[in-house]
Structure 1
Amino acid sequence: MLTAEQIACAYAWLAQLFSRELDSSQLAQLQSTDMVGWFAILEQEPSLSAATYELKAKIDALVNRPDARLELAADFCSLFLMSDKQSALPYASVYPSSGQDNTQIACLLFEAGMETSDVFNEPSDHLSIFLELLSHLHFSLNEPNIDHEKVRQLRQQTLSILLSWLPKFSHNCLRYDEFGFYGALSQLLLVLVQLDEQNQ
């Protein structure tokens, strides 16, 4: 069973990977031996093991991909920044099933005492904002004098909104990501969010 802190770290890590193209240091980090321990932690959770294994396989395959960083940047761009049909746009408002505009996530951020950063120049319904919020909520569970019921309610609301569109997003990632790194990453994210909802 993952701890609240480990789940918080997983959300923060995934938020970073979905927020922008990987730079050279992030790619090197993904391929480093430091990641072995992190993936071992994720694989301890039975529901995450298959998705983690698949992601590791895609990371291993990057070694044989010429200009891996540039190719991953192109994958990121075509999946998440294009508006054609063959993409997986990372915004809740794009998916009719979510019934979302930006006000609901903005309210949740306010309730949690968070603000969107000026550095991250994206609408507040971007996937990474949801993941940062969930990371924050999990970390806050370890703080003294925290209103656990309020945190639980905010988590529940955030997960509910996210799960109204994340399966479709993940499906599109798998469908349109030919190499499969972001497809595998989205699958790991989906099973993590589903696990988190079950453990409420």
Structure 2
Amino acid sequence: MTIDTPINTQQTDGAEEWQAANTARSALYRWFADIFARELTPTTLEYWQDQRIYDSIHNAFVSLDLEPYSIRVKTALANLEKLPKKEQALELAADFAQVFLLSGDDSAPPYASYYLSEDKHLYGEPTVQMRKFLASQQLSLNTEFREPDDHISVYFRVMSLWIDSSIEQQLDMTSSAQEQIDFLDEALLTWLPQFNARCQKIRVISDLYPALTALAEQFVLADREGLATVTE
């Protein structure tokens, strides 16, 4: 994935700029959705480690004043290269399991229900709400993605699809921005900070997943701030 367009919506002053920013926003939400959906394959990791590839993504985060968070990701990728090539993806797979797949007390479950339900059980009210939202928007999950509907990847994917739809239908940017703000406020930012905080406390071999989680939270906050300027 390469991103050549600055995505700071605060800089947009017309429909053409808004559309260009949306294209980049959609790509980054989709990128984050893929990151949390599954562990990185050796091929994907090698692709990321091509400095030219991540530099394109890094530049997008720089445009949002998120350079320190993106540099942390770049540093984690560089540190991985200190390991033997055949071990890098294996170590990341172990980290993915440690951070996202173990029991709640030992990991950071990537499900809204864990953070918003008193009993921390999965398939809680957030799962029901997301399922209803997907149905209302005529969206469906990939049948190969066998996770509850309130998995963090679903929220990022919904944002990407929603942005794509606003581009295709050329929806009014003010109302579209407000709807996306409401979704972020009510569905994602109610628990994303807690999720990130747990990720930072887990002992892992590589800093890559904690760095990516911190970057994801800051991206959503920056995107929400940019959307707010569109509605003013």
What TM-score, normalized by structure 1, do the two folds share? 0.90
Distance across 1 between alignment mates of 2:60 and 2:104: 37
Name the aligned partner's letter for residue 17 of structure 1.
Answer: I
Gaps of 5+ in 2: 1-5, 8-20, 119-123, 228-232
CA contact (8 A) 2:25 2:160 kept: yes
Aligned partner of 1:62 in structure 2 is: 80
Deviates more, 1:176-185 or 1:86-95: 176-185
Within-5 A mapping of 1:1-200: 2=7, 3-32=21-50, 33-46=52-65, 48-66=66-84, 67-96=87-116, 100-146=125-171, 151-152=176-177, 154-160=179-185, 161-178=187-204, 179-200=206-227
Gaps of 5+ in 1: none
Name the aligned partner's letter for residue 163 of structure 1.
Answer: L
Aligned partner of 2:15 in structure 1 is: none
Q: Which secondary structure does the structure 1 equivalent of 2:76 belong to?
A: helix
Q: Which secondary structure does the structure 1 equivalent of 2:140 belong to?
A: coil
Distance across 2 between alignment mates of 1:120 and 1:145: 30
CA contact (8 A) 1:174 1:180 kept: no
Distance across 1 between alignment mates of 2:170 and 2:104: 48
Query: Which structure's CA Rg is the greater one?
Result: 2
Distance across 1 between alignment mates of 2:171 and 2:136: 13
Moved over 2 A (4+): 96-101, 110-113, 144-154
Q: 1:92 to 1:186 in 2, by over 3 A?
A: same
Distance across 2 between alignment mates of 1:97 and 1:181: 28
Q: How much has 1:141 moved relative to structure 2?
A: 2.4
Q: Which secondary structure does the structure 2 equivalent of 1:122 belong to?
A: coil
Number of positions where the alignment pairs a residue of Structure 1 with one of Structure 2: 199
Q: 1:166 to 1:189 in 2, by over 3 A?
A: same
Q: How many percent of aligned residue pairs carry the same amino acid?
A: 30
Distance across 2 between alignment mates of 1:11 and 1:145: 19
Measured against aligned partners, the alpha-carbon deviations of 1:57-91 in whole angstroms (never above 9, x if no partner) come to 11111101341100000000111111141201000
CA contact (8 A) 2:22 2:164 kept: yes
Deviates more, 1:61-70 or 1:144-153: 144-153
Measured against aligned partners, the alpha-carbon deviations of 1:115-149 in whole angstroms (never above 9, x if no partner) come to 11101111100000000001111222222354656
CA contact (8 A) 2:116 2:126 kept: no
What TM-score, normalized by structure 2, do the two folds share? 0.79
